[in-house]
Amino acid sequence: MTLAFPFRWCLLFLVLGCLVVRAQVALQVQVVDSLPALRGLLAKDGVHVRMVPGVYLIDEANAPDFLEFRARNAHFDLSGVTLKVDTALSRTFGKVGTNFIKLSGDNTLVEGFSLETFGNHPAPGGARAVSITGNRIVLRRVTLTLAGSSPYGYGSFFGIGAENTVSPLKLNGIRVSGDDNTVEFCHVFMRCFGHAIFLRGANRAIIKGCRVEGALRRTDQFLAETSGVAYDQGFRQYTGEPIPAGEMTSLSEDGIRAYPDDPDTGRRTQNIRVENCRVSKMRRAICLAFAAGKNVIVDCEVTESERVGFHIGSHTTILRGKADALYAQALDISSSGSRESSAEILVIDSRSHYGNTLLAKINGRDHRVTLTEASADTVPGSLQIELASNRGFGAWRKDTPHAERIELSNQTAASVVLKNEAQAITGQSLGPVTDLGRGNSLRGPLPKHTSLGDPSSHRHVTATNR
């Protein structure tokens, strides 16, 4: 019993000490109610800032980074704050790229705000709503509603980079570089030409619980115009080829996209994790094909993509993915140089597919792919899975595609085509298999009509190249 009293006193002092510390922390929170007051704290390390909820207008800036959060070890709580950005501000800086928000201070949390653009003035040097360049930064619960690019309404038909017939002036959502940065529970609504979330030189970045939504338009609508950009270009793409009829086009670029590196620093983009994200109506939904290291996509759903749902390369894992093939293939592993990736994708309703007949394309070596359907008949037999193929996304490639030692489990009605350079392909398919390759043992479906006395009625048909 004598030991109980000192223990109780120690516990009491511990509780009181925690309360004092919490009170001191609470006293350190600085509340601001104007942009000038916020700007005065953006470079102050260790601050905890709370902004009074309301609408704040960003219509003046002294630098291409309109608001730069340089503070380290800081917390900026902007819950309930709406920042309205005049897109005409970017024109003040000529062809210098602008960032509406830049996060450059290490170990900092910025959360809670909404950002909306107005004015619809394209930036001559391109613009980003949020740019993360520091390390160990968390961007949380942010909503972006973006417009202001040129040309808008035609997707990528007139070029996206140096090769173009109409120079694009882009507005992107969130750029991520640096080490160990996290973008979580953010929503990006794209009504502009650009990427929603993109990574350049990012290492161990996490994109979690985010939602991205673009807009779609049928190419038939382009072709019916009697004036405008498509009309002025003779309804031809930047390649000189005609804009195809009967297809669906995203008016933005990619939803979540990794570039190979940061051209300014030379840092490689690598070891990216995308978790519980939803992307719809973008050109490519989730593209980690150009990221190095080991990359993971978990519990993500991609729908109504223009070109690709999931686009991956080497050493990438897709777990519990969901995708449709309404307007583009659900999965693309287009590089013959890709190695050792795995994908498990549940294919959701694709019965009304339009302008697309490809469910998946698989090239490279030593991949494992499992495709299942959400319910019976949601994947029609008119869709195809191709290996060693250049069809669909990446059709511009001039090299001969190869696929080797791929293990495929096709639990859908889609047919499988093993092209000439497909070899050592194994697994099983519920849909029919056409084998033009060599040394393959991909098992096809059971025969529909067999005799009860025929032993072959109890075996799967194996696709082999005679």
Does residue 19 have a pLDDT over 60? no
Q: Which helix (H) or strand (E) holds 10?
A: helix 4-28
Least confident range from 18-22, 69-73, 109-113, 457-461: namely: 457-461
Distance CA 384, CA 61 (A): 52
Q: With cut-offs at 50, 70 and 90, classify the pLDDT of residue 45.
A: very high
Provide CB contacts within 8 A for 380, sequence distance 6+: 350, 351, 353, 413, 414
Q: With cut-offs at 50, 70 and 90, classify the pLDDT of residue 447.
A: low
pLDDT digits (tens, 9 = 90+) for 175-187: 999 999 999 999 9
Range 226-242 average pLDDT? 95
The 3-class SS string of 150-182 reads: ECCCCCCCCECCCCECCCCECEEEEEECCECCE
> What is the DSSP track for 216-277?
EEEHHHHHT-SSSHHHHTTTB-TTSPBPPSS-EEESS--SEEE-SB-TTT-PBPB--EEES-
SS3 84: strand
Please state the pTM of the whole predicted model: 0.90
pLDDT digits (tens, 9 = 90+) for 307-337: 999 999 999 999 999 999 999 999 999 999 9
Q: Which of 81, 89, 110, 270 is nearest to 174 (CA)?
A: 110
The single residue listed with the structure tokens 């094909």 is 289
Range 268-287 average pLDDT? 98
Does residue 10 have a pLDDT over 60? no
CB atoms < 10 A from the CB of 3, how many? 7
State residue 17's pLDDT score.
Answer: 53
Does residue 112 have a pLDDT over 90? yes
State residue 395's pLDDT score.
Answer: 67
Token pair in block for residue 123: 């930036």
As annotated, the residues of the chain forming the CATH 2.160.20 domain(s) are 29-353
Does residue 168 have a pLDDT over 90? yes
- Greater confidence (458 vs 177) lies with 177
| Mean per-residue pLDDT of the chain | 91
State residue 5's pLDDT score.
Answer: 46
How far from chain centre, in Å, is Cα 126?
A: 20
Q: Which of 285, 421, 412, 409 is nearest to 365 (CA)?
A: 421
136, 173, 239, 272, 277 from 206: Cα distances, Å? 10, 16, 36, 6, 11
283 in Cβ contact with 252 (< 8 Å): yes
Range 287-296 average pLDDT? 98
pLDDT digits (tens, 9 = 90+) for 394-405: 766 778 999 999
Percent of the chain's residues with pLDDT above 90: 86
230 in Cβ contact with 157 (< 8 Å): yes
55 in Cβ contact with 84 (< 8 Å): yes
pLDDT digits (tens, 9 = 90+) for 190-214: 999 999 999 999 999 999 999 999 9
State residue 16's pLDDT score.
Answer: 52
Distance CA 199, CA 291 (A): 9
Token pair in block for residue 453: 């006395």
With b meaning 16 or more CB within 10 Å and e meaning fewer, what string describes 195-209? bbbbbbbbbbbbbbb
Parallel, antiparallel, or unpaired: how do β-strands 216-218 and 248-250 relate? antiparallel
Residue 162, phi then psi, degrees to nearest 5: -65, -35
Angle (nearest 5°) at CA 304 between 315 and 313 = 15
367 in Cβ contact with 430 (< 8 Å): no
If you compute the radius of gyration of the chain from its CA atoms, what whole number of angstroms results? 26
142, 214, 316, 349 from 192: Cα distances, Å? 18, 8, 29, 28
Does residue 20 have a pLDDT over 60? no
Provide CB contacts within 8 A for 289, sequence distance 6+: 258, 311, 312, 313, 316, 332, 333, 334, 335, 338
What CATH class does 29-353 carry?
mainly beta
> What is the DSSP track for 181-192?
-EEES-EEEEES
How far from chain centre, in Å, is Cα 92?
A: 31
Q: What is the largest CA-CA distance in the chain?
A: 94
DSSP structure class, residue 44: -
Distance CA 112, CA 359 (A): 38
Q: With cut-offs at 50, 70 and 90, classify the pLDDT of residue 374.
A: confident
Range 248-275 average pLDDT? 97
Does residue 240 have a pLDDT over 70? yes
384 in Cβ contact with 416 (< 8 Å): yes
State residue 459's pLDDT score.
Answer: 31
Residue 23, phi then psi, degrees to nearest 5: -65, -40
